[in-house]
Amino acid sequence: MAYTDKFIATDALITHLNTIIPTVTDPSIKANYAGFLSVSAVTVFELAVKEIISDFATKKNSIFGFYIDGKYQRINGRIKLSDLKDEHVAQFGLKYLDRFKKSLEKKEKALLKSSRISIRSSYGNLVTCRHQYVHEGSPTLSYEEVSKSYENGKYVIECLYNSLKR
């Protein structure tokens, strides 16, 4: 299965919610939709990270892949950019860590130049929003910001995928 298949559920949720959000007038309901969407978005990012890392390890060696699958049974939200670099990619060596950093930097520069979008900030803000909503009940982003951050955050996952190729 391709890691991008993990995005299907949240993409469908956004399509559905985009028809509802314009009719919602209660700010607390809108905030809950934003929080709910942030949970869905970060969940599919977790699943994609797990898929990418598992596939990479399995392609390296089937026993190594089996070990990584066990290790990643419970990724539990550890997908901040620092986690991706220091915990997930670094375990495979500096070669892959450098690839990830360079890929991320290249995409960041390109999108900042063309669209004034920071994928690092978008991704980080989304993960923070999800954490804030789950643990304190109040998201830090609006529905629109969560939706845009999710779309921009996909580029971070793409960079991870592109850096973990043999």
| Residue in 111, 114, 115, 121 with CA at minimum distance from that of residue 149 | 121
Q: Name the average pLDDT for the chain.
A: 94
Joined tokens for residue 122:
């978008």
Q: State mean pLDDT over 119-125.
A: 98
How many other CB atoms are there within 10 angstroms of residue 96's CB atom? 19
pLDDT in tens, 44-82: 999 999 999 999 999 988 998 888 888 888 777 789 999
pLDDT over 90 at 8, yes or no: yes
Angle at the Cα of 22 from the Cα atoms of 9 and 31, rounded to 5 degrees: 70
Joined tokens for residue 95:
């070669």
| Domain spans, the chain | 3-163
Report yes or no on whether pTM surpasses 0.85. Answer: yes
Q: Which residues contact 55 (CB under 8 A, 6 or more apart)?
A: 3, 65
